[in-house]
Each structure stands twice: as structure tokens, then as C-alpha cells.
Amino acid sequence: MNMAVVGMIAGMALGFAGYFGGFGAFLLVAALGAIGFVVGRFLEGDLEPGDFFRSRDERRR
């Protein structure tokens, strides 16, 4: 799926959540979307768990 379409769908979901559920629902949908994005990147192999725990000095090598 094209990234522009994915972005549009995510924006529409956040818009609906904000309109019908208020600001709290907007934040919940945004947080769950971010978590889903990170999990998807893990499953695709683009991220490794150690990427979040390494120091900056180790990443430059």
C-alpha cells in the first residue's frame, strides 16, 4: 500500500477519534498507532530490540 494512502487513513482515524471521542480518544488512537507502527517494523525486520537500548556511541561505529 502506498505510504500516502496509509498516512491518509491514519489521519482520518485520528480525525474521527478526535471528533467523536474528544481529545482523550485522539491521544489513545495516536499512541496505539505509534505502538502498532513500531511492532510492524519489528515484524518486518527493520528494527531490533537492541536499537532502543544501545548508547549513541555504539551506534556510530
By residue range, what is the domain housing residue 30? 3-60
% of the chain with per-residue pLDDT over 70? 87
Backbone angles phi, psi at 9, to 5 degrees: -65, -40
pLDDT of residue 58: 59
- The pTM score is 0.65
What is the average per-residue pLDDT within 36-49?
Answer: 80
pLDDT band at 5 (very low <50, low <70, confident <90, very high): confident
Are 10 and 33 a contacting pair, CB within 8 Å? yes
What is the average per-residue pLDDT within 3-14?
Answer: 84
Structural domains in the chain (count): 1
pLDDT of residue 41: 81
